[in-house]
Amino acid sequence: MAEFHCRLADSNGKIFSETYNSATEGELRHRLSEQGYYIYSIRGRGKFFQLGKRTGRRSIHPTEFVVFNQQFAALIRAGLPILKSLELLSQLVANPQFRDILSDIATRVKSGALLSEAFEAQGFFPKVYTASLYAGEKSGSLEEVIRRFIDFQKAINATRSKIRSALTYPAIVFTLLVTLVSFLIIKVVPEYAKFYSTMGRKLPTATQLLISFSDLVRHQLLVGLIVLMVVFFGIRVWAARPKGKLWLDGLKFRLPIIGSIWIKFAFAQLSRTLSILLSGGIPLIYSLEVVADSTGNQKITGAIKGAISMVREGQSLSRSLETSEFVPALAIEMIQVGESTGSLSEMLRHVADFYDEEVATRLSQVFTYIEPVMLILLACIVTFVLVSLYLPIFQLSSMVGS
């Protein structure tokens, strides 16, 4: 008898995990179905099902994963069996890590595992993907579910590309600012300091301050870098702990201007994920559990888990989310409309599209103001350095002229 770890739901919608003994996975699956349980996953406790998350190798790029799913959906639509499609695609992908993963998935499917379970056993793919595959297998619409996930992933990638594009120019200006100021402080100012030391005259206050700052930077540069590295790694270690991560996640939302944008971006991703799960036929409570585990923000996760408890008690999703300070009021109103019209999945997709567009617009507006501010700051710093360096020469010239 083999031991299997099962994730199930009963007729009341309560989700729980339990361990069972059975000769085969198929026999256990049939037995649980006969008992009226809704089966989310069945994992064997043996070595075959213990493959963990892969580390130390090249990762799978989101675009590469989208291309794979496009090819996978096309092969399924053409009538190719799932196992044959996986074996064919495992030979075509260029990424060695992805090739090994697909080969392992094909082996698991060949041994009788569900496609969703084979992907989930890798410990590599997002929970929303494996849950969508499970819904597609149960409803017989695997190709449609995969295409929905492709649209979902494309929308997320497009939003992230817009954000990266908005950040590009400010990042270039900031790099230019740091590089130029560093060059002036470390290379230019010391040369002028040597020249002025031969004059034997008292320098202006601005020049003295600039030279003192240059000496401090040059003589304490190594110590400063070590301190910065220690502080950086200390913050990383602290942020990896639950309390530190919770505090930082809350700080993101409390930042002026950027905080509201961060909230809208997080809720857009949450809405899109929940939409793709509900459209695949996954129950609301289980969909919320998947979303809670994939938000990446402890504050949002806490809000979703609180909503799950209220939904289990019979409250609507919109009423359950009202208690959270991180859910925008407009989103709650749109979700309420979706619930009343029976089109919650579609309304959540509209919420995600709306906030994605608003995030891109707000970011463009913010960086429209940041760019000239950074240029003005750059001009002020360079002007101060140049005036401080040439001020003694101007004073000497005026004294000689008089």
Compute φ and ψ for 151, nearest 5 degrees: -60, -40
* pLDDT exceeds 50 at position 47: no
Query: If you average pLDDT over every residue of the chain, what do you get?
Result: 80
Q: Which of 52-66, 261-275, 368-382 has the lowest mean pLDDT?
A: 52-66
* pLDDT exceeds 70 at position 52: no
H or E element that contains 265:
helix 258-279
Reported confidence tier of residue 137, pLDDT bands at 50, 70, 90: confident
Reported confidence tier of residue 13, pLDDT bands at 50, 70, 90: low
* pLDDT exceeds 70 at position 49: no
Q: What pLDDT does residue 230 have?
A: 92
* pLDDT exceeds 80 at position 29: no
Q: What pLDDT does residue 56 have?
A: 42
- Which is higher by pLDDT, 20 or 398? 20
* pLDDT exceeds 60 at position 1: no
* pLDDT exceeds 70 at position 276: yes
Q: How far does Cα 47 stand from its chain's mean position?
A: 31
Q: Which of 62-66, 355-359, 395-399 has the lowest mean pLDDT?
A: 395-399
Cα 269–282–262 angle (5° rounding)?
Answer: 10
* pLDDT exceeds 50 at position 51: no
Contacts of 24 (CB under 8 A, 6+ apart): 2, 112
* pLDDT exceeds 80 at position 343: yes
pLDDT tens, position by position, 282-338 = 888 888 888 887 777 778 888 888 888 888 888 888 888 887 777 888 888 888 888
What is the residue extent of each domain of the chain? 1-50, 172-402
Query: For residues 389 and 188, is the Cβ–Cβ distance under 8 A?
Result: yes
* pLDDT exceeds 80 at position 129: yes
CATH number (3.30.1330.20, 1.20.81.30, 3.20.20.480, 3.50.50.60) of 172-402 reads 1.20.81.30
Q: How far does Cα 286 stand from its chain's mean position?
A: 21
pTM of the predicted model as reported, rounded to 2 decimal places: 0.61
